[in-house]
Amino acid sequence: MTLQKISSVQLIFVFILMLHHSVSAQNIDSLHHLVFEKYGATMNFSIEYSANDFYLVKAKNKSADDRSYEQIQVLKDSLEITGDRAFMLRIGQLYSRLNETTLGKEWFLKALTEYSKAYVSDPNSQKMLKEMVSLHTEMGQTTKAIEKTNRILELSPKDLDYILLNTVFHFMIAKYDDGVQIIDKAAIFYPEDPGLVLMKTMGEVFKLMGALTQESEADKAKVIWANHIHDDNYLNEMKSKFPDNETLQIGISCSELFILFYGKILPIMFELPDDMINYNFNLSDDEQKKLASLEKSFKSFLKNKSNENTYALHYSLGMIKMLQSDFKKAIPNFKKAIDQKPVQFRSSMDKVISGYDNIIASYLFLDDKKSAEKALQTKIDEHAGGDPSAVDHLQLAYVKIENHDLKSATMLLETALGLDSNNVDIYTTLGDIYLLEKKYPDAENLFNLAYDLSPDDKGLYLSLIGLYIANGEIENAVYMANSYLEFDPENEFVLGVKRCYVSSEKPTNKIEK
């Protein structure tokens, strides 16, 4: 179960290639157009763990034969004979495992209709409530899942599995304090339960992470970090208190790595280095020793063949190698982690987005753009986030544009637009392609749509400068350049525009809104 999707740290390699133009400021009427490219590979990397990697009892995977259309037909036949709504849920799950997302959703909706009717007449059936929790989980309806879980706990207040599940649901919607309160109340019944200890520890770590990644200003993020109590003594105390509980030992170790990771990336979250190729995280002696100790522990846990928690272990080893700037060795660890959650058995809460992103980032750290492109395509093909992702298609389009494959980029962007019609970057990127193809009216239409969504978007400013120059609207271009330089005064492309042209009249079209 993936907790709140962690907002990734974005490190963007932007390549702006200004084509030579044949006119000077004294002869602007002879300018035909100025085409620019501003796209390249986008690096996102993060550390992200899932709650069911640590404590919650995992549902046993069905055999490979269950993941088949023949098995779906068997379930449909059983549904027709018995009328049992549970078969609807299972059919939806199988369609989802087969990447038939639309059919899966249709069957989930059918099941929800039948469960909702039954719930009205029998709100105390715990079997039905638990099936409804699974259904809401599959449909991504976390708030609804919480409602049914609360009802289960009203009927059975000591049900530890659902206490923990309720905690996870609250973490998923970033209600970390509420999740910790649930644990504190449960401690009355289970004062020494290691699962509750682990969940509380992870809750505090996720709360810190959420505060950091949602902050948009560097100074404020640094204050948040400075005010955080890095209490290694507490973590060590929990480790020593439950020495034989391997699950808790793994979870605490992951928490330690989590904190170390954010401590190292905080300096580059807002101030990007000029060169990220073979980047060095500059570990202190103590940090190197800490990572070496954690690496030894994770490898030791892997030797226990009865341990089902291998995703978190391989993933953690990959994170350690990233922090050690050993990106070549990080990649196979992330791949091994993803292999532990094969596509056919992933639930909607069992995503591996971070693993894919870290593989792509590692290739980019190594300046291997070709492999990064292949990894991004694999991420899309395997539906790493469950449903198809507009952002993934957009990022791959960036790479295609950089490689001058405008046809493939256009197809990706059109797909992305169908997935998310409110993403301003999709409109501006597709508009930029139209600029390159000299389809200026089409480009202008897309830029106006982007303006409606986000009139202050910086990328849109750059696109409009190119459009105005292409249309011979030099006064508008320079006015937009002046506006852009207010928040990015050293941008070489925009400064080049100003060096060529001298007018600064206000624009005359929609952008003046």
Instruction: Report pLDDT for 51.
Output: 55
**Which pLDDT tens digit goes with each residue over 452-472?**
998 888 888 888 888 888 788
Q: Please indicate whether residue 268 or residue 258 has the higher confidence score (pLDDT).
A: 258
- pLDDT tier at 509, thresholds 50, 70, 90: low
- pLDDT tier at 276, thresholds 50, 70, 90: confident
Instruction: Report pLDDT for 112.
Output: 93
Cβ neighbours for 354, distance < 8 A, ≥ 6 positions apart:
6, 8, 45, 46, 47, 48, 315
Quick check: 137 and 162 in contact, CB under 8 A?
Answer: no
Instruction: Report pLDDT for 54.
Output: 58
Instruction: Report pLDDT for 10.
Output: 26
Which residue has tokens 């770590």?
A: 205
Q: Please indicate whether residue 59 or residue 222 has the higher confidence score (pLDDT).
A: 222
SS (H, E, C) 364-406: HHCCCHHHHHHHHHHHHHCCCCCCCCHHHHHHHHHHHHHCCCH
Which residues pair with residue 458 across a beta bridge?
A: none
Instruction: Report pLDDT for 42.
Output: 60
The percentage of residues in the chain with a pLDDT greater than 70, rounded to a whole number, is: 80
Quick check: 459 and 37 in contact, CB under 8 A?
Answer: no
Q: How far apart are CA 327 and CA 308, in angstroms?
A: 26
Instruction: Report pLDDT for 332.
Output: 97
Burial of 160 (0-12, 13-18, 19+ CB in 10 A): middle
Instruction: Report pLDDT for 466.
Output: 82
Greatest mean pLDDT among 6-20, 219-233, 263-277, 359-373 lies in 359-373
- pLDDT tier at 206, thresholds 50, 70, 90: confident
**Which pLDDT tens digit goes with each residue over 331-341?**
999 999 998 88
DSSP β-ladder status, 17-18 and 36-37: antiparallel
Instruction: Report pLDDT for 230.
Output: 60
**Which pLDDT tens digit goes with each residue over 15-34?**
222 222 223 332 223 223 33
- CA 323 vs. chain centroid, Å, equals 20
Mean pLDDT over residues 187-216, rounded? 79
Which residues pair with residue 18 across a beta bridge?
A: 36
Q: Cα–Cα distances in Å, from 272 out to 70, 268, 351, 426?
A: 52, 5, 28, 24
- CA 471 vs. chain centroid, Å, equals 38
Q: Which residue in 108, 41, 37, 59 sits closest to 397, CA to CA?
A: 41
Instruction: Report pLDDT for 347.
Output: 62
Q: Please indicate whether residue 36 or residue 361 has the higher confidence score (pLDDT).
A: 361
Q: Please indicate whether residue 153 or residue 344 has the higher confidence score (pLDDT).
A: 153
| pLDDT mean across residues, the chain | 79
Instruction: Report, in angstroms and rounded to the nearest whole number, the Rg of the chain calculated over CA atoms.
Output: 26
- pLDDT tier at 307, thresholds 50, 70, 90: confident
Dmax over Cα atoms in the chain, in whole Å? 84
Q: Which DSSP category does 242 fall into? A: S
Cβ neighbours for 157, distance < 8 A, ≥ 6 positions apart:
189
**Which pLDDT tens digit goes with each residue over 157-183?**
999 889 988 998 898 888 888 988 998
Mean pLDDT over residues 189-193, rounded? 85
With 0.75 as the threshold, say if the pTM is over it. no
Instruction: Report pLDDT for 201.
Output: 79
Which residue has tokens 């990649």?
A: 331
Q: Which two tokens stand for residue 430?
A: 């597709």
Which residues pair with residue 37 across a beta bridge?
A: 17
Residue 503 in this model has a pLDDT that exceeds 60: no
Residue 129 in this model has a pLDDT that exceeds 60: yes
Q: Which two tokens stand for residue 390?
A: 């507009």
- pLDDT tier at 144, thresholds 50, 70, 90: very high
Residue 418 in this model has a pLDDT that exceeds 70: yes
Cβ neighbours for 469, distance < 8 A, ≥ 6 positions apart:
31, 33, 34, 477, 497
Which residues pair with residue 9 across a beta bridge?
A: 45
- pLDDT tier at 437, thresholds 50, 70, 90: confident
Residue 359 identity (one-letter amino acid): I
Instruction: Report pLDDT for 23.
Output: 30
Mean pLDDT over residues 86-109, rounded? 86
Quick check: 472 and 31 in contact, CB under 8 A?
Answer: yes
Q: Please indicate whether residue 279 or residue 18 has the higher confidence score (pLDDT).
A: 279
Burial of 319 (0-12, 13-18, 19+ CB in 10 A): buried
Q: Which residue in 332, 424, 428 sits closest to 371, CA to CA?
A: 332
Quick check: 29 and 472 in contact, CB under 8 A?
Answer: yes
Residue 44 in this model has a pLDDT that exceeds 80: no
Q: How far apart are CA 203 and CA 137, in angstroms?
A: 20
Residue 220 identity (one-letter amino acid): K
